[in-house]
Structure 1
Amino acid sequence: MPTAAEHYRKIFDRRTPQQLRTLAHIKRFMERLTGDLAFRTELNENLDNPRKVTEHYGIEVDPLEMLPLWRRDYMNYRSKPECSSWPLAVIWYEYIDEMIRHRDMLRDEGEMAMVAPRFHVWRERQIRRCNSEVGSEGAITHPIIAFELSEGCTVGCWFCGLSAGRFKGYFEYNEEHAELWRGVVGVASKMFGSAARTGFCYWATEPMDNPDYDRFLSDYYQITGALPQTTTAAPLKDRALTERLFQLFDRYRSVTNRFSVLSTDHLNQIHAAFSPEDLMGVELVQQGKETLTAKALAGRSREVTLRAANKDAIAVPEYRSTTIACVSGFLVNMQQRRVQLVTPVPASKRWPLGYRILDERFFKTPDEFREELQSIIDQHMRESPSPHLPIRFRGDLHYEAGSRHFHLRSRYNEYVILDDVAPISVGDLIACGDCTASEMAARVIADGASALAVANLLEELHTEGLLEEDIDDRFAWQTSEGTR
């Protein structure tokens, strides 16, 4: 089976230069359509001759051959109209299908069943929980590790889903730091095998704030065999660095990079600086006010929304909260020598940035880094519910008792669970939320049931991600929406 990087390279290698050029101009058309109100208005005002609009923007494709892309729900890539009469639309949808397949392969590349079984089981549980709690099935790839190569961010986007702090400096690529960096990445590669290829080198940081950024990426490729993705809101800040990133992409071509586009003016500047062909390996993430895409309600975006709602006395339902976080694993800040265990959750009062922090450690050497990773795994990545903590359903789940079964409903999923392993309802005991696993076993044994059968039921609920792993979340939900 090909790796994600091999699949990605084939997306480009199987196309001729002319086919790639055509695709690049279709892509630029879509970027304008998504992020530029004036462009959309001009198209609608020139339905008799839309080509003069695209020519003005340097887009060398006939918009009439892409009619399904701009006269229908072109943002819903999975809902495809019959478009055999529009060849350019067919080309675009084929490309999108290949990119979705690559995204799915990136998620699957985090598999660690053989090299790190406890981490693997924990990550799989977080994936199931996120699919149910965040509604993220397929969209979040759950990389196992991310690195920050600076502290804070110089851009300061008002909508930052991670509320990045002010810039306080970057991790310079000198002899000492390079040795530590290669050692840390090497530890991750040895401990987690090919899953380390899912890693990337930014978080609540701007990659272009580190002038040595490309040197760190080169080391990462040499150690893991994959070039990490770059997402930047400042591609024009250091053109030489951006060009070096393009060169790395051309050389190794592992994954699409992303530019966050902050406004229509920013889109104009990016399009003026780079040709459609230059940006073939770059996804433009439209963040301007004229864009058709919604922003995640997390971090600063959530703060702004809640302030406006409070000012206008409008209630903002908690279920609207979401996240831009993607890592189920380790977040490493090289400047601070800090490692955290994190996983995505809907942004909340408890976790306003849209990710849960389960632990935090510090290290000075690669050996200490390895020791801290292993310690975190041993402490937090349990395959079974803790026998000493209360067993409760996730706070976002609605529980409904039935006859020898019970229902659990989240905003995105519904579960029907058999509840016939004991004379009394195990579901009711969990819903009450005041029994540990040991106490629950004692209750059912007193009623003549098999403790093993109850343990198996709890194991199944735990594996599916339906039991609360952060007890305080339950109280946060009760406070915001009332007891469910």
Structure 2
Amino acid sequence: MPASYPEVKRFVDAWFCDPDFPDRFRARPTDALHDLGVDLDPTELARLVSPEDFGILTDPTREDGVAEAGGIVADWRRYARERHQSVKTERDQRTPGCPALANWRWRQITRLKFELAPSLGDQIRHIPFAMELTRGCSGRCWFCGVSAQPLDGIFDRSPENVVLFRGLLQHLVSIYGRSAALDGILYWATDPLDHPDYESFVEDFAEIVGGAPATVTALGGRKPERAASVLATLSRHPARSHRFSVLSVRDYRTLISWFDASELALVEMLPQFRKDLRLKFAAGRARTRMKAKGTSEGEVRPGGTIACLSGVMVDFVGRTIRLVTPCPSSDSRPDGVHESAKIPFESLEDAIAVIDRLLDEIRIPLPEEGAMLSRSQGVRFADSPDSSAMRVVSDHHAIRLGSPISGDRLETKLPTSGTIDSIVETLVGELDLEPLEAVSLLRRLLDAGAIRAGLPGEGAMPVQIGVPDTGSDQEMTPPKEPG
């Protein structure tokens, strides 16, 4: 991190989070910086927000710009690039230790290359697990991308619950490996500051995994004392980025009055109080509002997602476990996630059995008979000049893939979705493939992200909370509703 970074970031945060700051800076730059506690050359900082260089703040992949000349702006630019590139680097480094789970995760990464624009898809980390310590969130943010429900339950830190939490976390580390587990988090459709003992769970996590979990909150400006306590705990462990979603100008001003520039250097300040729908991902409640009001163009933008998880979701309050992976939001997936059925547990032994059973379902390279396959959103197949390959394309991505049949024929005959049995039957009966050729082609399409396998029990109604039968004949699909 450049020595100037904390103060430059303080300036940038003010530019985006305080609507009065740009005018104050233009009128009296030295005084405006003094009020922020920033002791840097205002002339250099002005270059950072000049019309020529403003894209540096909003597009870390931009290659041009006079900012490369040197000084504060160049330092900011280099560090912004490093942080942007580190997402992919760390995502690749923190792959699960289990090869089969690493392959399943890779399939989700390649699928999203077709389904989402690179500016969004490349920043998704595909973390291995998330553990919810509360049910719901007190924030009730109008833009919530995962449609969090109101806060109505807390996983208290009783001795029994501590044993459950630590035991389940240790099991997840044993499955994924310590490096991958470092990307696990302790929230989802929840807010860490709602839990009075979040810091103690962070210490448990750090002891077992080897580092503190990345933490995101929208309540820092409303609960600055809690935010200060949590940041102090996180700062005792190896540095990593965290995030404050800033819900109002008042919240922003509260935060900078509580924390100096160095304390917020690794905390992304994300202003969320502007009601312009064009600034939001089309997922969750933001998508609902887009559908109700429309954007300035009068239509909902393409589906987005804020989901970062491709792995295990543990709800400690509701005592359920499910698998989750991101996807573009849609009417059937408004929050931008594919989810398995929710499987209940009561004890640590139950939870371990459920996780093992769910992960066993996705470890296999090709789903079992009866499993559902579907074409990834927006994917098309086309001929390639090379007769031994075809083109797999979408609006966001394109590859050449070895294939025994032409892309045009596959585009015409391959069903959009169906059971693996019916799709193999189509490939054999209508495209004249041998059964082994059909199976091999499906596996290559899965690995390339062109098609996806449904998660266990995906689309089924949630199961009732209760003790599962952990025997080998346990059904993953919940019972049908009566009648």
Mark yes or no: TM-score above 0.5. Answer: yes
Matches within 5 A, 1:239-254: 239-254=224-239
Distance in 2 separating the partners of 1:423 and 1:241: 56
Q: Which residue of 1 aligns with 2:324?
A: 342
Pick the aligned partner of 2:249 from 249, 264, 272: 264
Distance in 1 separating the partners of 2:393 and 2:265: 42
Pick the aligned partner of 1:363 from 345, 354, 373: 345
Q: Which residue of 2 aligns with 1:51?
A: 30
Matches within 5 A, 1:340-419: 340-388=322-370, 392-400=374-382, 404=387, 406-419=390-403
Q: Is the 8 A contact 1:339 1:362 kept in 2?
A: yes
1:233 counterpart letter in structure 2: A
How far the C-alpha of 1:147 sits from its partner, in A, is: 0.8
Pick the aligned partner of 1:207 from 187, 192, 197: 192
Q: Is the 8 A contact 1:347 1:355 kept in 2?
A: yes
How far the C-alpha of 1:335 sits from its partner, in A, is: 1.1
Q: Is the 8 A contact 2:10 2:36 kept in 1?
A: no
How far the C-alpha of 1:161 sits from its partner, in A, is: 0.7
- Is the alpha carbon distance of 1:55 and 1:314 closer, same or farther for their aligned partners in structure 2, counting shifts above 3 Å? same
Distance in 2 separating the partners of 1:432 and 1:82: 48
**Are 2:59 and 1:76 equivalent residues in the alignment?**
yes
Q: Which residue of 2 aligns with 1:466?
A: 450
1:374 counterpart letter in structure 2: D
Distance in 2 separating the partners of 1:291 and 1:32: 19
Distance in 2 separating the partners of 1:397 and 1:422: 15
Pick the aligned partner of 2:122 from 138, 157, 172: 138
Q: Is the 8 A contact 2:45 2:73 kept in 1?
A: yes
**Are 2:107 and 1:125 equivalent residues in the alignment?**
yes
TM-score, length basis structure 1: 0.83
Pick the aligned partner of 1:274 from 245, 256, 259: 259
Distance in 2 separating the partners of 1:399 and 1:432: 12
Distance in 2 separating the partners of 1:69 and 1:205: 35
Q: Which residue of 1 aligns with 2:207?
A: 222
Secondary structure at the counterpart of residue 236 of structure 2: helix
Q: Is the 8 A contact 1:110 1:144 kept in 2?
A: no
Q: Is the 8 A contact 1:388 1:437 kept in 2?
A: no
Secondary structure at the counterpart of residue 164 of structure 1: coil
**Are 2:166 and 1:187 equivalent residues in the alignment?**
no
Pick the aligned partner of 1:436 from 407, 422, 426: 422
Q: Is the 8 A contact 2:372 2:454 kept in 1?
A: no
Secondary structure at the counterpart of residue 227 of structure 1: coil
Distance in 1 separating the partners of 2:258 and 2:89: 32
Higher helix residue share: 1
- Is the alpha carbon distance of 1:215 and 1:413 closer, same or farther for their aligned partners in structure 2, counting shifts above 3 Å? same
Distance in 2 separating the partners of 1:432 and 1:94: 44
Distance in 2 separating the partners of 1:308 and 1:328: 31
Distance in 1 separating the partners of 2:264 and 2:428: 63
Q: Deviations over 1:95-136 (max 9, x none)?
A: 323323443343124312xx4222211111001111221223
TM-score, length basis structure 2: 0.84
2:199 counterpart letter in structure 1: D
How far the C-alpha of 1:366 sits from its partner, in A, is: 2.1
Aligned residues: 446
Pick the aligned partner of 1:95 from 76, 79, 83: 79
- Is the alpha carbon distance of 1:98 and 1:440 closer, same or farther for their aligned partners in structure 2, counting shifts above 3 Å? same
Q: Deviations over 1:385-422 (max 9, x none)?
A: 55545655324223445785654432211234454448
Q: Is the 8 A contact 1:343 1:355 kept in 2?
A: yes
More displaced stretch, 155-164 vs 375-384: 375-384
Distance in 2 separating the partners of 1:402 and 1:238: 58
Q: Deviations over 1:242-301 (max 9, x none)?
A: 333232233212421111101222211111221112212211112121899821111110
How far the C-alpha of 1:465 sits from its partner, in A, is: 1.3
- Is the alpha carbon distance of 1:299 and 1:53 closer, same or farther for their aligned partners in structure 2, counting shifts above 3 Å? same
- Is the alpha carbon distance of 1:463 and 1:348 closer, same or farther for their aligned partners in structure 2, counting shifts above 3 Å? same
- Is the alpha carbon distance of 1:423 and 1:337 closer, same or farther for their aligned partners in structure 2, counting shifts above 3 Å? closer
**Are 2:43 and 1:60 equivalent residues in the alignment?**
no
Identical aligned residues as a percent: 25
How far the C-alpha of 1:56 sits from its partner, in A, is: 3.7
RMSD: 3.1
- Is the alpha carbon distance of 1:110 and 1:358 closer, same or farther for their aligned partners in structure 2, counting shifts above 3 Å? farther
Q: Which residue of 2 aligns with 1:476?
A: none
How far the C-alpha of 1:182 sits from its partner, in A, is: 0.8
Q: Is the 8 A contact 1:66 1:86 kept in 2?
A: no
- Is the alpha carbon distance of 1:419 and 1:30 closer, same or farther for their aligned partners in structure 2, counting shifts above 3 Å? same
More displaced stretch, 406-415 vs 222-231: 406-415
Q: Is the 8 A contact 1:147 1:332 kept in 2?
A: yes
Distance in 1 separating the partners of 2:277 and 2:376: 33
- Is the alpha carbon distance of 1:123 and 1:205 closer, same or farther for their aligned partners in structure 2, counting shifts above 3 Å? same
Q: Which runs of 5+ in 2 are unaligned?
A: 459-483
Q: Which residue of 1 aligns with 2:473?
A: none
- Is the alpha carbon distance of 1:412 and 1:341 closer, same or farther for their aligned partners in structure 2, counting shifts above 3 Å? same
Pick the aligned partner of 2:314 from 332, 350, 359: 332
